Amino acid sequence: DTAVSQTPKYLVTQMGNDKSIKCEQNLGHDTMYWYKQDSKKFLKIMFSYNNKELIINETVPNRFSPKSPDKAHLNLHINSLELGDSAVYFCASSRKWRADYEQYFGPGTRLTVT
Amino acid sequence: AQKITQTQPGMFVQEKEAVTLDCTYDTSDPSYGLFWYKQPSSGEMIFLIYQGSYDQQNATEGRYSLNFQKARKSANLVISASQLGDSAMYFCAMREFNTGNQFYFGTGTSLTVIP
């Protein structure tokens, strides 16, 4: 059973479109995250939810909106896609919000905006 | 200032040899955690090892060990007896307990194991 799953794995879309990426974890973790990995492999946190509450909201365009319907799910909706949004987006979860818990990552979603 | 610095963009090691991947960090928070992750070419991120700032001993996990030098603010990853499957990107990361619990990643080191 996949611990952290993301759908879709690949997403190719045109500028201006709206798209969503879904994430689910079956680990019973309290905390979930979204990361963006750019073409140079740099990973940057975007959002974090703890028990469905938004905890980290980094400086990302407000075209990006996370939604956590329950503890096991954290979806990412992106409006008006731009070329610069092309990246790999990783969802992750950790048992608790505490700093000493490692994160388990999903397989990533490669978003290509044309 | 960069929170996590990995100065080796690429490293090569002979199979069965040991290799050290460097990581230095910057924080004024006395409580923090240091992590290493592996990202193979398939793309997934795999947790390897964790070191807490108050841990007295260096963390070890199988062939992975973390050379933690607190005064120098360094947390180097040592991989012993390298295997071909160790070829991957390796990321050092830090999380500060008291300062928003942010997660900071380094830019990564690409390790290639040569047969």
The reported pLDDT for the residue numbered B100 is 64
Q: Which of B45, B97, B102 sits opposite A105 (nearest CB)?
A: B45
Read off the pLDDT of each residue in A88-98 and give the average, rounded to a whole number.
92
Read off the pLDDT of each residue in B78-98 and give the average, rounded to a whole number.
95
The reported pLDDT for the residue numbered A108 is 96
The reported pLDDT for the residue numbered B101 is 66
A33-47 confidence digits (pLDDT tens): 999 999 988 999 899
What span, in angstroms and rounded, lies between the C-alpha atoms of A103 and A100? 10
CA–CA min distance A105, chain B (Å): 6
Reference B21, options B112, B84, B115; nearest CA is: B112
Return mean pLDDT, chain B: 94
Q: Contact A44/B105, CB-based, under 8 Å?
A: yes
Question: In the predicted model, is pLDDT for residue A85 greater than 80?
Answer: yes
Position A5 confidence tier, pLDDT thresholds 50, 70, 90: very high
Which residues in chain A have Cβ-Cβ distances shorter than 8 Å to B52? 100
